[in-house]
Structure 1
């Protein structure tokens, strides 16, 4: 099982802030297995190759062990999904492309220009389906979250409003680039627990 961090939306910032391990203040304090509130113990790391729209990186993924149930947990940065090498920004580019009418064949051909590409039409279809399912599950939470910050805004009406409306709304309302992309936010909510920076 993995926890997704609520920080480090950018690979380079992740590498800088985690050069000596996850900062102590950001260490997991709830076990995703047994739900105990406890300081998880450091339990090593492994390395994963990550492809963004512009570069290839090798990053450390840190593991922690629960002193209560003895099960281990990996802590993933928000730009990465479990068991994946493609960063969220590549997958968002694909979802946006399809939203703007590009076919999956076109997106697969375009992916040849990105580090790690090209990706097959089947992979593109799998990404689009996964994110569509995630949006469907989290659409109400997304609407509530945006309204809590911008109560005056008119949000897309009804479930299944579609990516284009949510992307437009997100770009208009996110408070800063630090917030990251819409897919970063959905990725953080989709995991069972998040590691968050206090404040």
Structure 2
């Protein structure tokens, strides 16, 4: 099952879709047993709007239940990062600054983040680079010309935003954050 739904780039689009077309989030089959007819199982709330006022919090995330194995699953819009406090856009800005040569502490100070958070994101991308690059190069031939960590990620982020790259990886069943 693809955990990330490509269609919704903003929180507002996500909110409209949850109300107007909740079926757009319904997975084709259960990620646990493969049964094909999942039921809507309500929503859970997630604080994803990290703006100054956080007007849109909490955001509803649709859940689904499998009648066969009785387990639940949920799907996220493209604008919300799974298992991360901060959004993809901020992570992309941080990673671009680090690739450009800024120090971890300087980058953390610029974005008002903890330097441990910035280091964790950087190490996460470095350790998974080969695996991520393999799958993205398989899908996007132009990325095959990029050799090395920094040149690959610069080329990738020029081709698409980080959220889209991670959604493609999720589509290929690669675990993203």
Give the gaps of 5 or more residues in structure 1. 113-118, 175-179, 195-199
Is the contact between residue 52 and residue 89 of structure 1 (CA under 8 Å) also seen in structure 2?
Answer: no
So what's the TM-score if we normalise by structure 1? 0.73
Once residues 16 and 65 of structure 1 are traced to their aligned partners in structure 2, the CA distance between those partners, rounded to angstroms, is: 22
* Structure 2 residue aligned with 1:181: 161
SS in 2 for 1:133: helix
* Structure 2 residue aligned with 1:41: 39
Q: 1:106 to 1:19 in 2, by over 3 A?
A: farther
1:139 to 133, 141, 147: 133
Using the TM superposition, give the Cα deviation of residue 192 of structure 1 relative to its aligned residue in structure 2, in angstroms: 7.3
- Structure richer in helix, relative to its length: 2
Is the contact between residue 8 and residue 14 of structure 2 (CA under 8 Å) also seen in structure 1?
Answer: yes
Using the TM superposition, give the Cα deviation of residue 154 of structure 1 relative to its aligned residue in structure 2, in angstroms: 6.1
The runs of at least 4 aligned residues of structure 1 exceeding 6 Å deviation read none
Q: 1:169 to 1:131 in 2, by over 3 A?
A: closer
Once residues 164 and 53 of structure 2 are traced to their aligned partners in structure 1, the CA distance between those partners, rounded to angstroms, is: 18
Query: Which has the higher mean CA deviation after the structures are superposed, 130-139 or 56-65?
Result: 130-139
User: RMSD of aligned C-alpha atoms?
Assistant: 2.9
Q: 1:53 to 1:102 in 2, by over 3 A?
A: farther
2:146 to 142, 146, 156: 156
Q: How many residues align?
A: 172
Once residues 35 and 55 of structure 1 are traced to their aligned partners in structure 2, the CA distance between those partners, rounded to angstroms, is: 41
Q: Which has the higher contact order (CA 8 A, sep 6+)?
A: 1
- Deviation per residue, 1:105-144 (Å, 9 max, x gap): 11211122xxxxxx21111111122233343212111112
Once residues 86 and 38 of structure 2 are traced to their aligned partners in structure 1, the CA distance between those partners, rounded to angstroms, is: 28
So what's the TM-score if we normalise by structure 2? 0.80
Give the gaps of 5 or more residues in structure 2. none
Using the TM superposition, give the Cα deviation of residue 193 of structure 1 relative to its aligned residue in structure 2, in angstroms: 5.4
Using the TM superposition, give the Cα deviation of residue 23 of structure 1 relative to its aligned residue in structure 2, in angstroms: 3.2
Is the contact between residue 53 and residue 89 of structure 1 (CA under 8 Å) also seen in structure 2?
Answer: no
2:119 to 114, 125, 149: 125
* Structure 1 residue aligned with 2:15: 15
Is the contact between residue 7 and residue 77 of structure 2 (CA under 8 Å) also seen in structure 1?
Answer: yes
Once residues 80 and 136 of structure 1 are traced to their aligned partners in structure 2, the CA distance between those partners, rounded to angstroms, is: 24
User: What does residue range 1-199 of structure 1 map to in structure 2 within 5 Å?
Assistant: 3-20=3-20, 23-36=22-35, 38-51=36-49, 56=54, 57-58=56-57, 59-112=59-112, 119-147=113-141, 155-157=145-147, 161-171=148-158, 174=159, 181-190=161-170
Query: Which has the higher mean CA deviation after the structures are superposed, 97-106 or 24-33?
Result: 24-33
